[in-house]
Structure 1
Amino acid sequence: TLASGGLSRTYQLHLPADYTPRRDWPVVLAFHGRGNTGVGTEEFSGLSNLPAIVAYPNGVIGTGDGDRQAWQGAPYAAAGVDDVAFTGDLNRTLCVDKRRVYATGKSNGAGFTGLLACRMADRIAAIAPVAGAFYPETGERCHPSRPVPVIDFHGTGDVTIPYEGDPERGLPAIPDWTAGWAERNDCRARPRTRTIEPDITITRRTGCDHGAEVHHVAITGGGHTWPGADSYSGGGYVTGTIEAHEVMWQFLRQYRTPRAVVR
């Protein structure tokens, strides 16, 4: 448990099997989707297999039907709850390599990583949203203090958070969202796209400021799911072609926040 913003907040913490406090470890912050939990996300994501400390925070029950936990930036998030501050408090609590803090999440939690990239670029080295719900409040007035590397995963058959966007809910088309980050990071105008498996197409935006590349992994026909999930992660097709945790780690691990901005 952790006191933050006048609330008692909770998180689950996974330490690698060979963990020792005598070395600095990277940390992955994994934010669950609406109505899920940190425990549930650990079960399906495979993230605890990474050579990193993994923290699975729990959101606060939001609005709408049912008692469902949610994260800041979504229209159904609990009013007045500052999850960005909670993330900062959590970072200060953990004994980790402060330059290698990464954020991932699914759906509402993935959208929240976008907000963290906007507001905590000095502490979040890179983000890896999966099936992200990028509501307007997660990206409006987004002026990060440094270019933030991004690797995004999304199924083209996602009916919960449509790949082509949902204007009525203020959700952008996923290619437009990644293009927005490429523009912030001053990447080359022309991306490179390659189909690496029958259902996996990767678009890479390179030549970015400070090497902060933006990658997008499109899962053809993929549902509102976590690629390679070990258990139920949402409705629709789940690819077994890739494991999201492995692909994102190959991307994330190469990045660190600059020394000049570490607090």
Structure 2
Amino acid sequence: MSTAAATRLTVLATSAVLVALTASACAAGVTEGSSIKPAPQAAVAAASGGNTCAKPDVPAGLSTQHVMSDGMRRTVVVYYPHGHKPGKPMPMVIDLHGSGSTPLQQLAGSEIAATADKHGFVVVAPQAGIPFIAGKSHGFAWNVPGVPLMSGRPVPKGAPNDMQFMRDAIAAMNKALCVDTKRIYVTGFSGGARMASQVGCELSGQIAAVAPMSGLRMPGNCKLGRSESVLSFHGTSDGTNPYNGSKQIYWSYSVPVAAQRWAAADHCDKGVQKQVVNGVISTTYGNCDNGRQVVLYTVTGQRHMWPGTPDSMAKGYTVPKLDPNEIMWSFFESHPLDAATA
């Protein structure tokens, strides 16, 4: 994470800005919740597989929940949309924070609450297991299997198993929130995007589509159990995860190569490029297995920040006239689990 990005997210995480974030969605404060135990898969299917559901176990707006995983009480921040009437399973978007960040900072930085309220999906933001400092930001980093930390150091011995945590969090949230199990999606920023890429591979049988922002990877140990739809935005002025790759062990190959590797795994056609708006080029790999798609948005001049947000562009560039969150949700909505698209 760049110093500027870390500083901005730290500021956004203050109480005043959290009030502004939730006020835009008519939210109250953050409510503290009790621990939620993961449910057996059969119970999860029964809870969300029908046409009706019980009232969710969380309040509208922001709340802090806890999930037991590997004997540890792990933190999950939930944003439940305002105006949603309980009774019908709803989509879930898992939003993963970057290295040195936190769930609240990620929710503020991605500005996803308003999108959730508009379209009626719940946002789940888990907290990674490794304490980590990035510049002035003190937060957490993900234990991505086989990948060192952003600093280049190996994952500490005894670090929590974050992939198991993801499995447990999904199972627990499915039950607590009455989730539509065919519409579970994962996004994330930077280190959270690398983790989202890993989750999309390892849990391809549960995750309908992923949207890693400023950190798309194709895990080297990936063996897809089912083809996966992938959307990504990445800036050409990203100094932390350079668009064209770097010598850093956690990064190395370029973003276009990552998209090509996903397309190859999904057995897609050759990528087709088009200019979306001035400064933004999309590369779409279509005709993939089971109607999947892989789409990369290349944003000229974008720095290492969530796309479309203020100050996300390098000097001399303006924020493109498009809404990445709307594009992401439209992509998610058109790619449910095991359903082909045109």
TM-score exceeds 0.5: yes
Tell me which residue corresponds to 1:103: 186
CA distance in 1, matches of 2:104, 2:248: 32
Amino acid at match of 1:118: C
For the residue of structure 1 that corresponds to 2:337, the secondary structure is: coil
SS at match of 1:68: strand
- Residue 167 (structure 2) aligns with: 88
**Contact residue 108 and residue 133 of structure 1 kept, 8 A:** no
- Indicate yes or no: 2:111 matched with 1:46: yes
Aligned residue runs from structure 1 range 7-46, under 5 A: 7-46=72-111
Residue 140 (structure 1) shift: 1.6
Distance (whole Å) between structure 2 residues aligned to residue 238 and residue 88 of structure 1: 39
Q: For the structure 1 residues 65 and 159, does the alpha-carbon distance in structure 2 shift closer, same or farther, using more than 3 Å as the test?
A: closer
Deviation at 1:6, TM superposition (A): 2.2
Alpha-carbon shift at residue 139 of structure 1 (Å) = 0.4
1:186 aligns to what? 267
- Asked whether the 8 Å contact 1:63–1:78 carries over to 2, the reply is no
Question: Following the alignment from structure 2 to structure 1, what is the Cα–Cα distance between the partners of residues 105 and 324?
Answer: 16
Structure 1 position 64, deviation (Å): 6.9
Q: Which has the higher contact order (CA 8 A, sep 6+)?
A: 1
Alignment match, 2:230: 150
TM-score scaled by length of structure 2? 0.69
Structure 2 residue ranges without an equivalent (≥5):
1-65, 150-154
Distance 1:64 1:229, change over 3 A: closer
Q: Please, what is the CA RMSD of the aligned residues?
A: 2.2
In the other structure, the counterpart of 1:208 is: 288
Q: Is the 8 A contact 2:216 2:259 kept in 1?
A: no
Question: Is the deviation greater in 96-105 or in 83-92?
Answer: 83-92
Q: Is the 8 A contact 2:286 2:293 kept in 1?
A: yes
How many Å apart are 1:63 and its aligned residue?
A: 5.7
Structure 2 counterpart of 1:55: 124
Query: Do 1:71 and 1:108's aligned partners in 2 also have CA atoms closer than 8 Å?
Result: yes
Aligned-partner Cα distance in 2 for 1:42–1:9: 18
User: Who is 1:123 aligned against?
Assistant: 206
Q: Say which one has the larger Rg.
A: 2
Q: Deviations over 1:133-173 (max 9, x none)?
A: 64xxx602211110000001100110111000013425220
The answer to whether structure 1 residue 114 and structure 2 residue 215 are counterparts is no
Q: Percent identity?
A: 29
Cα distance, 1:71 vs structure 2: 0.9
Between stretches 60-69 and 19-28, larger displacement belongs to 60-69
2:330 paired with 1:250? yes
Match of 2:68 in 1: 3
Residue 78 of structure 1, CA deviation: 4.8
CA contact (8 A) 1:226 1:238 kept: no
Residue 225 in 1 paired to residue 296 in 2?
A: no
Aligned residues: 254
**1:227, 1:161 → 2: CA distance?**
14
The one-letter amino acid paired with 2:223 is H
Post-superposition CA distance 1:64-115 (Å, at most 9, x none): 7785301122412554422111111111112201110000000000010110
Query: Mind listing any 5+ residue stretches in structure 1 that lack a counterpart?
Result: none
